[in-house]
Chains A and B, each alone.
Chain A
C-alpha cells in the first residue's frame, strides 16, 4: 500500500480461475433495469469482487461469466432489492482448485 495508486484489472485475476459457464443461463439477473438507471449509489459496480457489474449512462450491465458466487451484489442492493440471485445449476459456475 504505497502512496502510488495500484491499478489492477480484475480480468487478469479471473483469468487464473476455472469456470464451467452455463451458456445463456445466467444465475443472477437484474429485476428491473429502470431501477438501476435511477439508482444513485450503484454500489454493485464497486463492491462486486469480480467486476461483473458495469455502469452505463442509463443502465447497469451485468455479465455473470466471471462470478465468484459470493452473494455480495444481492446483499448490498438494499434500496431497490433489484437483484434476482440464485446459485448456478449443479456443477456449473466457478470451480475452485484451491479455495
Chain B
C-alpha cells in the first residue's frame, strides 16, 4: 500500500472505534487496522456499557446498537465461604428512558461499532497485526508496518488504540512493561439460559437487568472482585485479581472462577445454564500514577493502552471511548488550523484529558490501589467478620442481642487492635472521599 493517510488508528476496540469514527466523520482520510477476524473477536469485557460516553459520539445509538439489558438493580456482595452480606439498590428511576447503563456482549457490540466506523468513511482492515511503528531519523512516527507483504503504510498521525498489552508502545519505548501490581487478570464465562428463566430468577422483566459485584473471601485474599451480569438470554460471570497477587498464590485463575461459581449463593443463579465460552483478559488498574506519556511527535495513545481504567468504579470502556474521541477531536482541530502533528501541538490532548472526568476521576482515587494492596484485611478479615456478625444477629437461638453484639465486637478486636480498626476506617474514608 503506497497510499498515505491522514491518520492510522491501530486497534478496533472501544477506544479505536471512537477515534476512527470521530476522525472519519470529520472528513479525514482514516485507516483502521485490527488483528482480529472482525472488530471484537479479540475483546473481553464484563460487560457494562455506560451510555454517556457513546452518546457523545453517536447520539442515537440506542436505536440500533446491540444492547442486552438496561440495569435497574445493582447488588454488592461481601462474601465469605458460605454466605454474603449484601446491599441491593433498585429503582424505578432506572426504568425511565433514556437509560444510563446497559449490559452488552463485546463481540456483537464491537462489530456494530465497526460498521458505524465504515459508514463514516474510514477504511477498516481486519486480520492484520501491526508489527512496529515506522519512524524517521528524528524519531517522529510516520506510519506502521503490518504483517502482510508490502507492509509499510504512512500517515501524518498514528493513534495507538491497541489495548492493555500494547506491544507497539512498549517496543517503541513509549511505555515500560506492565507492572504486575498495576494489572488485574480477569477470567469469565458466558452461560446461556432461557430469557424467562433469567427474568424470574432475578425478579426482572422485559429488558430490565441486574448486576452483582462481589468481594471478600472469593478472591482468597487477593486484591480483586467477582461479577455476575444478566444479558438477554445469558449470564456473564467472572472474577479478576491483581497479577502481583496471583503470582504469590497457588490457585489458578480457572480454579478461582470455578469456586466462585460453586459458591452456595451463586450456583443457583447459574443452575441449568449452558456454558458457551471461557475468556481471559488483563485490566490496567494502576490508576493515575501508572499513566504513561500519551502523545509525542506523530502519535497519541488512547484507551487501555494508556492505562485509562477507573478500577474503583469498574469503568474502562467509557474512558476508552472518551480518550479516543478527545484524541480525534484534537487531531481534527490541529488539522483545520494547518498545524503539524508534533508533540508540542498534541500536548493539547493531554490538557483536554486533564480537564475531563477521565483524569479528574483517576486523580481522585490515585492512592486507593496502594492502600488496598497494603491492607489485605479489607479483603479477608472484614468480610468474614461481617458475615459472621450478620449470621449471629439473625440466628434466633435464645441468646440475647446485647451479648451477641459484645461477642461480635470482641471478634473484631481479636483480629485487629482498636487503633487498627480506627486507622482502617480513616484510611478507607480518605481514599474514597
Contact = CB atoms under 8 A, between A and B. Distances in A.
Contact of B41 (A46, A47, A76, A95): A95
Nearest to B148: A90
A38 interface: no
B167 interface: yes
A39 to B, nearest CB: 12
Interface string B266-292: 000000000111111110000000000
B196 interface: no
A51 B252 contact: yes
A99 B255 contact: no
A63 interface: no
A61 B253 CA distance: 19
Contacts of B126: 90-91
A90 B127 contact: yes
A35 interface: no
Contact of A47 (B79, B185, B281): B185
Contact of A90 (B129, B178, B183): B129
B180 A13 contact: no
B129 A99 contact: no
Contacts of B58: none
B396 interface: no
A49 B280 contact: yes
A41 B247 contact: yes
A96 B279 contact: yes
A28 B36 CA distance: 17
Interface residues of A, number: 42
Interface in A1-42: 1-3, 6, 8, 10, 13-14, 16-17, 20, 41
B147 A1 contact: no
A88 to B, nearest CB: 7
A18 B129 CA distance: 19
A2 B263 contact: yes
A16 B263 contact: no
Contact of A95 (B37, B218, B260, B281): B37
A97 B45 CA distance: 12
B213 interface: no
A70 B278 CA distance: 12
B343 interface: no
B187 interface: yes
B74 interface: no
B44 interface: yes
A46 B245 CA distance: 12
A88 B260 CA distance: 31
A98 B277 contact: yes
Interface string A42-72: 0100111111000000000000000011111
Range for the number of chain B residues in contact with chain A = 35 or more
B203 to A, nearest CB: 24
A52 B156 CA distance: 40
A6 B252 contact: no
Contacts of A3: 81
B262 A96 contact: no
Contacts of A48: 252
A14 to B, nearest CB: 6
B70 interface: no
Nearest to A3: B81
B370 interface: no
A22 to B, nearest CB: 11
A70 B127 contact: no
Given A47-B246, A96-B43, A97-B277, A89 B129 contact: yes
B342 interface: no
Contact of B249 (A6, A46, A50): A46
B164 interface: yes
Contacts of A69: 42
Given A1-B262, A16-B276, A72-B243, A47 B107 contact: no
19 contacts: A1-B259, A2-B264, A8-B258, A10-B254, A16-B276, A43-B247, A49-B253, A68-B278, A70-B280, A70-B281, A71-B282, A76-B243, A85-B167, A90-B127, A90-B129, A90-B146, A98-B277, A99-B107, A99-B277
Interface of A: 1-3, 6, 8, 10, 13-14, 16-17, 20, 41, 43, 46-51, 68-72, 74-76, 78, 85-91, 93-99
Which 4 pairs, one residue from A and one from B, show the smallest C-beta to C-beta distance? A91-B127, A99-B106, A49-B280, A13-B278
Given A2-B81, A74-B165, A97-B277, 20 more contacts: A1-B217, A2-B82, A20-B37, A43-B247, A47-B246, A49-B253, A68-B280, A71-B282, A72-B243, A72-B246, A75-B178, A76-B246, A88-B35, A89-B129, A90-B128, A91-B128, A96-B44, A98-B106, A98-B234, A99-B44
